[in-house]
């Protein structure tokens, strides 16, 4: 079955740049999506189609993808960005192919 691999944790100081990676064999041909889940809250979409940002998401959030790796970048991380981040994708265009989440990355900002 298809898998997306993320580092379990990333730690940065406030104002630094945080980078969270997601690797998957199908990422060269399939989009990655990124979700933020703060403690006790429901997930929020922060990046779609590899690099596009919903209008309500701060500009410090950006995404990129190269080869089998997608990256979520938070430029100038803030305390409120501390959360779990999940990538999400599929390995086929078939409507019956499963979607998968990465295992999640806990971002600590301190």
Partner 1 sequence: EVQLLESGGGLVQPGGSLRLSCAASGFSISTYAMNWVRQAPGKGLEWVSSISVGDDSANIADSVKGRFTVSRDNSRNTLYLQMNRLRAEDTAIYYCARDELVPPAPLAHWGQGTLVTVSS
> Does 29 contact partner 1 by CB under 8 A?
no
**CA pair distance 38, 16, nearest whole angstrom:** 19
> Does 98 contact partner 1 by CB under 8 A?
yes
Q: Count the alpha carbons within 13 Å of 110 in the hemisphere toward its beta carbon.
A: 6
> Does 84 contact partner 1 by CB under 8 A?
yes
Candidate list 26, 57, 69, 100; residue touching partner 1; CB under 8 A = 100
Gyration radius of the chain's alpha carbons = 13
**CA pair distance 63, 51, nearest whole angstrom:** 4
The DSSP symbol for 43 reads -
Candidate list 26, 45, 57, 69; residue touching partner 1; CB under 8 A = 45
Q: Using CB under 8 A, list all residues that contact partner 1.
A: 1, 33, 35, 37, 42-45, 48-49, 52, 54, 84, 86, 88, 95-104
């Amino acid at each position: 079955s298809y898998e997306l691999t993320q580092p379990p944790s990333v730690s940065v100081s406030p104002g630094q740049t945080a980078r969270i990676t997601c690797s998957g064999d199908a990422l060269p041909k399939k989009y990655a999506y990124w979700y933020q889940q703060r403690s006790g809250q429901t997930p929020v979409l922060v990046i779609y189609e590899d690099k596009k940002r919903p209008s309500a998401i701060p500009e410090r959030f950006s995404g990129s993808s190269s080869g089998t790796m997608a990256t979520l970048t938070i430029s100038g991380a803030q305390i409120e960005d501390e959360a779990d981040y999940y990538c999400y994708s599929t390995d086929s265009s078939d409507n019956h192919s499963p979607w998968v989440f990465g295992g999640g990355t806990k971002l600590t900002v301190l």
